[in-house]
């Protein structure tokens, strides 16, 4: 998603205007275990390509997306609309 969907204009606009990106690289040599622990705390397990929307005022997960939908590659507007809908509820 980071390479094929997020850069698309419709998606990148929503991400830039309504979200703040933070990445946890669990394969990082010195910080990987710390980030894995944080993932386990927030979602119950450590895994790859998990997307969360976290309330910036409190450490609460507002939205979780763990399954990648390949149709977003050919229909990025669908993902942008999905993001817009989630941003409205925050």
Q: Is the pLDDT of residue 60 over 70?
A: yes
Tens digits of per-residue pLDDT, 8-49?
A: 999 999 999 988 887 777 777 678 888 788 777 877 766 666
Q: Is residue 64 part of a domain?
A: yes
The band of 70, judged by pLDDT with boundaries at 50, 70 and 90, is confident
**For the chain, how many structural domains are there in total?**
1
- Domain encompassing residue 74: 9-88
Q: Does the residue 2 lie in any domain?
A: no
- Residue 68 CA, chain-centre distance (Å), reads 11
Closest residue by Cα to residue 21 from 66, 44, 51: 51
Measure CA 12 to chain center.
Answer: 13
Q: Answer whether residue 1 is part of any domain.
A: no
Residue at 4 is within a domain: no
| Contact (CB, 8 A) for 72 and 5 | yes
Question: Phi-psi region for residue 41, left (φ > 0), alpha (ψ -120 to 50) or beta?
Answer: alpha
| Domain membership flag for residue 69 | yes
Mean pLDDT along residues 38-62: 76
Tell me, yes or no, whether 83 lies in a domain: yes
Q: Rounded CA gap, 26 and 38, in Å?
A: 10
pLDDT at 74 over 70: yes
> Is 67 part of a structural domain of the chain?
yes
């Amino acid at each position: 998603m980071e390479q094929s969907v997020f850069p698309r204009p419709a998606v990148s606009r929503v991400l830039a205007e309504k979200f703040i990106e933070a990445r946890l690289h669990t394969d990082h040599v010195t910080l990987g275990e710390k980030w894995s622990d944080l993932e386990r705390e927030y979602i119950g397990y450590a895994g790859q390509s998990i997307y969360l929307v976290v309330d910036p005022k409190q450490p609460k997960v507002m939205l979780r997306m763990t399954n990648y939908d390949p149709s977003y590659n050919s229909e990025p507007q669908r993902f942008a609309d999905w993001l817009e809908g989630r941003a409205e509820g925050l």
